[in-house]
Amino acid sequence: ATTHSVLEYIRTSHSGAKLVLPSSAGVYGVATVLPTSVEAPLNPVSPYGLHKKLAEDLCRSYGRHFGVRSAIVRLFSIYGTGLRKQLLWDACAKLTQGEALFGGTGEETRDWLHIEDAAALMIAAADHGSADCPVVNGGTGEATSIKVILCTIADELGAQVDLKFSGQARPGDPAHYQAEIAEALAWGWKPSRRWSDETRAYVRWFKEGAH
């Protein structure tokens, strides 16, 4: 179902419900200040980020005009065992095959939020949904470089490789993401998983036959 259809269903048939919208850090585009606050300008530079911004605008509009209650969680880099795509999965697959060339420079940074922490934040958001449509960032507040993540993966795999980077970033892929999470902390939520431990756990899951 689309965001609009869910909001319309709540408006017409289930006024007691709340919508928690899983949005994205992509709505910020290229952040000018790190860590990035929920008050930062929204300037998406990718179709994905623009789509998320439009979904957010719909939630705010339904809150203003119809009193539909919602909350927005702008998720940063979500990871965890079971995810068979994106950086950790691709890196495990490449390094296992002896490939060591990756895009970008390796100095790009991401704010990694484990799926269990993300789920807990989404649940907390449901308790705070209102017609005012509160917004929180879903991250840890810690930025980690892609190179450090890849080195951790290679170490856990036991891969003896010399990491190389093409210097070419993907279009619409900002170099740095880091969340300012004061609003989420004010809800009584806090991240509990460390990226270093959970990245190694992901690699062990991959080695056990996930691929």
d(CA 203, CA 50): 32
Q: Express each pLDDT in 104-153 by its tens digit.
A: 999 999 999 999 999 999 999 999 999 999 999 999 999 999 999 999 99
User: Cβ neighbours of residue 122 under 8 Å, at least 6 residues apart?
Assistant: 20, 22, 73
Q: What is the pLDDT of residue 157?
A: 97
* pTM: predicted TM-score of the whole model, two decimal places: 0.95
The kind and range of the H/E element at 183 are helix 182-186
- In the chain, the domains with their CATH numbers are 3-210 (3.40.50.720)
Angle at 175 between CA 171 and CA 176, to 5 degrees: 140
Is residue 137 within 8 A of residue 25, CB to CB? The reply is yes
Q: Express each pLDDT in 43-89 by its tens digit.
A: 999 999 999 999 999 999 999 999 999 999 999 999 999 999 999 99
SS3 at position 132: coil
